[in-house]
Amino acid sequence: MTGTHPTWRVPAASAGAVACAAILAGLAGADRPRDPGTTVTIYAASSLQGVAEELAEEFESSHDDVTVVMSYGGSSTLAAQIIEGAPANLFLSADDVQAERVADQLGGTTSTPFASNSLTIAVPIGNPAGVRKLADLTDDALVVALCSPDVPCGRLSDQLASTAGLRLAPDTEELSVADVLAKVSSGQADAGLVYLTDIARTPGVEQVVVEGTEAVATSYVAVELRPGDGTANAFVDLLASPVGRQVLGDAGFSPP
Amino acid sequence: MLDAHIVSSSRGVDARLRVESGATLALLGANGAGKSTILECLAGIVSADAGSARLGSTWLHQGRSRLAPGRRGVAILTQDDTLFETMTVGDNVAYGLRSRRVSKPRARARAHEWLDVVGLSGADEARPGTLSGGQRRRVAIARALASEPTLMLLDEPCAGLDAEASTRIRMLLARLLVSVTAIVATHDAIDAHVLASHVAVLEDGAVTEHDSVDAVMERPRTAIAASVAGLVLLRGTRTATGIALDGGGVIAAESDVVVGAPALVAVRPADVRVARHNDVPLRPSARADGVIVERVSAIEPRGDRVRVHGARLAGDVDAATAAQLRLDEPVAFTVPHCRAYGDSRDSV
Amino acid sequence: MTAPRWLLPLAGGGALIVLLPLVGLASRVPWSDWWPLVTSEAALTALSLSLRTASAATALALVGGIPIAFVLHELPSRWRALARAVVLIPLVLPPVVGGLALLFAFGRQGLAGDMFGSAVAFTTWAVVLAQTFVALPFVVAAIDAALAARSGRLEAVAATLGASRTRVLTTITLPALVPAIATGAVLAFARALGEFGATLTFAGSLEGVTRTAPLLIYLTRETDPGAAAALSLVLVLVAIIGVTVAYRPAKAVS
């Protein structure tokens, strides 16, 4: 065995050197500084993705020296990242609870509600199970997908059901509204409760229009994270402007 | 009776064998000569490409069609250790009978008797892992014989054990194989002498000698048979006065071989005298004086004697004489008067 | 074995990558509440569901995986490599892709949807199916390796003694494979217990029916991180115990 030693020691050592170099290069890349003067970093709830992209473009075209960097995720995930020190200027939360949580933890922030969203019934294209009203979701024969009461869309579903005096019978309580949509669009579930704004951007599902669902709504809140941050403030103004309202309305959001 | 022609082109074997009912054939050959292949073809563990083998009235294989191993009535004691470790010794021995649907109590009783026979009384419940190499070999022998085979194949049955265990196994087999039709593959002449009535010599997958043990061991016709028998084989031509050896030299020998025909002489090295060439006056070698001069190619200590090898001959000397000899130095081998025999193969 | 010393720092670094997250997990467990947390109704329901489904999945993986390994072993070698790769795919597939694949096969709109879809969708059987899908390759891989290490000599000798193929399998091969089967079963069980992506995609999440421990952990990770950490620790302990007791790397014995 000793005879083979020299033949593999050299390649092993050089492989180690290459690996170390690669790791160092990776670290260096991750640490590259950004120019804070021309960049506004916005953490936005996933449900805002299409809207936020459109508005960011609009914002950049009217502010020549500003670059908008977007990061999307679940509101609670983003809130946690911001509290841990993520370098965000503005937090667009889909949930006022998470907005409050961030405001409480950081202090010195400004919160502005800018839109609201409500639930609706999503069914697979063609509505194979013939769902007509909210009460149909209590039918055991239907496969119904809801959000778990532990996540925001599930809390809203509970509110909606209790407002209507119904006891829903879900076959699955999903971990996010995206999972509910996946179950409905794939035809695994006959119906599910999702946000109004999800219907337009999700192929494979259609809406069953039900009166009175908009009464139970979740509030979208913009949280300016740094006092005196004019750029972030200007973006919030854009959200409240007629242009902003138009873009939000087209995506299915209601005014706050 | 077994009548077999085994052909395996992938392993370079093309051999014909015959074993009379109740007789034991020693299959003699060096490692790699094809002994194991022949046994495994007969047992059905590997497939022969061509040829045929008939055991009594049963065809073991004919060309490419072959009988399932379990229906041949052929048991094999492989060279590698193949005891079933997950079973007791008794269940190992009873395995063949149980496979043929003999009831458990009867099979166990038979296994118990077989363990008595091989000298392992009461080992029924032992695990193979607790046994010595010699004991394991005994269990394997009992397992093979307990299946009541028509033909028993043994691949180097006494090899790989210490000398005493090896001898004991040989004595046991000598007793057990008396009336069993068997083939013993071996590279050791003593196995052939003790266990077999006939010998087939295998070289590079082909049978080069097939005769009774005495005939092969006393009048070998191949170098390998001679070497196994502990003899030096000399080839030559019968002359009026003796045998003119191929490569020079004439030795005196009695013979039935006609003058001018090829003849063989098998010489025991212990009977050959060796002297330094300078001590023997060199004469023109037309006379049958039995003196052959060759250069020393190897000096091999063998206990109290030393064997001196030349190109064709070998002879034994004492240590004092050997000490005077050098490699490549010419020495004179003196071959005693002996008996020559023909090279024909029809003397079976 | 005497390894060269320069391996040590590398081993230390590697160990750190594995150990530090476990330490981090343990540091977030609210130890004073640990017992109440892991014995809460939701936790017990999820753990019990996980144990039952993982056991069923392991049983199915053995019933299907052992024969697959034998058939692989009998294939001509040029097909064997390809067939092995196909069978082992769930090992390297992202679980969510596995879930999608299961959906397209056994979902209501899937290939076998008419047969299984309505019966399986959102039931515990869907969880078992998803877990079996990801666990089966572990059984196949363990037994495939063990079979490859066998010479087949014992089987050949058993056949010369008159044993039928079935008898050779049940009396010679399977008893010798017991350690490999145990290893495969433990790895399959551990994998089934940890299954998340395919279950989430394919089976849904309903307490007591399809919400296994990993799904509960994911669900409560933000609302109740302490409970999630406490439950995670239970899974870590089960995995460590199982692997310690039954996992033996394949040895080169016949």
The structural domains of chain A, ordered by start, are 39-116+218-250 (3.40.190.10), 118-215 (3.40.190.290)
Q: Which residues contact B220 (CB under 8 A, 6 or more apart)?
A: B209, B226, B229, B231, B233, B264, B266
Q: In DSSP terms, which residues pair with B266 in a beta bridge?
A: B233
Q: How many residues does chain C have?
A: 254
Nearest to C157 among B71, B76, B85 (CB): B76
Where does residue A229 rank: exposed (0-12), middle (13-18), buried (19+ CB within 10 A)? middle
Q: Which residues contact A232 (CB under 8 A, 6 or more apart)?
A: A40, A42, A89, A90, A224, A225, A226
CB within 8 Å: A172 and C215: no
For residue A21, pLDDT beyond 80: no
- Does C199 reach chain A within 8 Å, measured CB to CB? no
What percent of chain A has pLDDT above 90?
36
- Chain B residues within 8 A of C160 when measuring between CB atoms: 43-45, 69-70, 72, 74-76
Q: How confident is the model at residue B287 (pLDDT cuts 50, 70, 90)?
A: low
Q: Whose CA is closest to A183, among A197, A169, A173, A196?
A: A173
CB within 8 Å: A148 and C204: no
What pLDDT is attached to residue B347? 38
CB within 8 Å: B74 and C160: yes
Residue of C nearest to A152 (CA): C223
For residue A2, pLDDT beyond 50: no
Chain B: nearest CA to C150, how far in angstroms? 12
What pLDDT is attached to residue B282? 54
- Chain B residues within 8 A of C153 when measuring between CB atoms: 78, 80, 82
Give dist(CA A248, CA A53) in Å, integer: 11
> Which amino acid belongs to residue C51?
L
Contact: chain C with chain A (3+ CB pairs below 8 Å): yes
What pLDDT is attached to residue C116? 67
Chain C: nearest CA to B94, how far in angstroms? 10
What percent of chain C has pLDDT above 70?
94
> Which pLDDT tens digit goes with each residue over B98-114?
999 999 999 999 999 99
For residue B346, pLDDT beyond 70: no
- Tokens for B19? 């074993």
- Pairing type for strands B151-155 and B74-77 reads parallel
Neighbours of chain A (3+ CB pairs under 8 A): C
Residue of A nearest to C6 (CA): A13
Alpha-carbon distances, residue A233 vs A97, A112, A237, A253, C207 (angstroms) = 21, 10, 6, 21, 44
Between B237 and C107, whose confidence is greater? B237
What pLDDT is attached to residue A35? 47
What pLDDT is attached to residue A80? 83
- Tokens for A225? 């994270």
CA dihedral B36, B38, B44, B49 (to 10 degrees): 120
CA dihedral C9, C15, C20, C26 (to 10 degrees): -140
Instruction: Give ∠ CA C206-C211-C213 in degrees, rounded to 5.
Output: 160
Between C221 and B114, whose confidence is greater? B114
Give dist(CA C14, CA B145) in Å, integer: 57
Give dist(CA B155, CA B173) in Å, integer: 13
What pLDDT is attached to residue A103? 92
Q: How confident is the model at residue B200 (pLDDT cuts 50, 70, 90)?
A: very high
CB within 8 Å: C164 and B43: no
Q: How confident is the model at residue B77 (pLDDT cuts 50, 70, 90)?
A: very high
Residues 220-249 of C with CB under 8 A from B: none
What pLDDT is attached to residue A84? 79
Chain A: nearest CA to C102, how far in angstroms? 12
Q: Whose CA is closest to A210, among A128, A152, A127?
A: A127
Give dist(CA A122, CA A192) in Å, integer: 5
**Within a 13 Å sphere around the CA of B134, how many CA atoms are in the beta-carbon half?**
16
Give dist(CA B32, CA B126) in Å, integer: 35
Q: What share of chain A is helix, strand, coil (3-state, %, to 5)?
A: 45, 25, 30
From 3.10.290.10, 2.40.50.140, 1.10.10.10, 3.40.50.300, which CATH number describes the B232-341 domain?
Answer: 2.40.50.140
- Structure letter (DSSP) for residue C203: T
Lowest mean pLDDT among A72-86, A118-132, A218-232: A72-86
Alpha-carbon distances, residue C65 vs A184, C134, C139, C183 (angstroms) = 33, 12, 6, 13
Chain A: nearest CA to C254, how far in angstroms? 25
Residue of B nearest to C254 (CA): B82
Classify the C-alpha dihedral B11-B12-B14-B19 as positive or negative. Answer: negative
User: Is the Cβ–Cβ distance between B146 and B97 less than 8 Å?
Assistant: yes
Residue of C nearest to A147 (CA): C205
Helix, coil or strand: residue B78: coil
Q: Does domain C34-246 have CATH number 1.10.3720.10?
A: yes
Average pLDDT, chain A: 83
Give dist(CA B211, CA C231) in Å, integer: 81
Q: Which residues contact A218 (CB under 8 A, 6 or more apart)?
A: A94, A95, A96, A116, A117, A118, A152, A156, A195
ipTM: 0.82
**Within a 13 Å sphere around the CA of A70, how many CA atoms are in the beta-carbon half?**
19
Give dist(CA A32, CA B91) in Å, integer: 73
> What spatial distance separates the first Cα and last Cα of chain A, rounded to whole Å?
76
Residue of A nearest to C215 (CA): A175
User: Is the Cβ–Cβ distance between A91 and A100 less than 8 Å?
Assistant: no
Give dist(CA B88, CA B103) in Å, integer: 17
- Chain C residues within 8 A of A4 when measuring between CB atoms: none
> Which pLDDT tens digit goes with each residue over C148-192?
999 899 999 999 999 999 999 999 999 999 999 999 999 999 999
Q: Whose CA is closest to A252, among A196, A211, A207?
A: A196
Give dist(CA B323, CA B308) in Å, integer: 11
- Tokens for B2? 């077994």
Contact: chain C with chain B (3+ CB pairs below 8 Å): yes
What pLDDT is attached to residue A9? 43
Instruction: State the residue for tokens 């000298």.
Output: B119
Q: How confident is the model at residue B281 (pLDDT cuts 50, 70, 90)?
A: low
For residue A86, pLDDT beyond 90: no
Pairs across B and C, CB distance < 8 A? 59
Q: Whose CA is closest to B157, among B147, B149, B167?
A: B167
Nearest to A148 among C201, C203, C205 (CB): C205
Lowest mean pLDDT among A150-154, B162-166, C79-83, C215-219: A150-154
- Structure letter (DSSP) for residue C249: P
User: Is the Cβ–Cβ distance between B224 and B201 less than 8 Å?
Assistant: yes
Q: Which of C108, C218, C231 to mutate to test the interface with A (most CBs of A within 10 A)?
A: C108
CB within 8 Å: C171 and B43: no
Q: Which residues contact C53 (CB under 8 A, 6 or more apart)?
A: C124, C127, C128, C131, C192, C212
Q: Name the helix (H) or strand (E) containing C201.
A: helix C197-202
- Chain C residues within 8 A of A173 when measuring between CB atoms: 204-207, 211
What pLDDT is attached to residue C161? 95
Helix, coil or strand: residue A252: coil
Between B29 and A10, whose confidence is greater? B29
What pLDDT is attached to residue C221? 78
Average pLDDT, chain B: 89
According to DSSP H, which parts of chain B are helical?
35-43, 89-99, 104-117, 133-146, 163-176, 189-195, 213-218, 223-228, 319-323
Instruction: State the residue for tokens 């399959």.
Output: C188
- Does C171 reach chain B within 8 Å, measured CB to CB? yes
Alpha-carbon distances, residue B181 vs B14, B130, C49, C98 (angstroms) = 22, 32, 65, 61
Instruction: State the residue for tokens 């805002």.
Output: A48
CB within 8 Å: A182 and C201: yes
Domain segments of chain B: what residues?
A: 2-225, 232-341
User: Is the Cβ–Cβ distance between B262 and B249 less than 8 Å?
Assistant: no
From 2.30.30.830, 3.40.50.300, 3.50.50.60, 3.40.50.80, which CATH number describes the B2-225 domain?
Answer: 3.40.50.300
Q: Within a 10 A sphere around the Cβ of C228, how many other Cβ atoms?
A: 21
Q: In DSSP terms, which residues pair with B293 in a beta bridge?
A: B332
User: Is the Cβ–Cβ distance between A210 and A222 less than 8 Å?
Assistant: no
CB within 8 Å: C204 and A145: yes
What pLDDT is attached to residue C213? 94
What pLDDT is attached to residue B118? 95
Neighbours of chain B (3+ CB pairs under 8 A): C
What pLDDT is attached to residue A37? 54
- Pairing type for strands B50-55 and B198-203 reads unpaired
For residue A22, pLDDT beyond 60: no
Q: In DSSP terms, which residues pair with B300 in a beta bridge?
A: B307
Give dist(CA B217, CA A201) in Å, integer: 96
Between A1 and A188, whose confidence is greater? A188
Where does residue A203 rank: exposed (0-12), middle (13-18), buried (19+ CB within 10 A)? exposed
Give dist(CA A188, CA A182) in Å, integer: 8
For residue A14, pLDDT beyond 60: no
| Mean pLDDT of the B134-153 span | 95
Q: Whose CA is closest to B335, among B282, B279, B269?
A: B269
Report chain B residues touching chain C, CB-CB < 8 A. 43-45, 68-72, 74-76, 78, 80, 82, 84-87, 95-96, 99-100, 143-144, 147
Domain segments of chain C: what residues?
A: 34-246
- Chain A residues within 8 A of C207 when measuring between CB atoms: 173
Q: In DSSP terms, which residues pair with B273 in a beta bridge?
A: B334
CB within 8 Å: B78 and C153: yes
Chain A: nearest CA to C156, how far in angstroms? 35
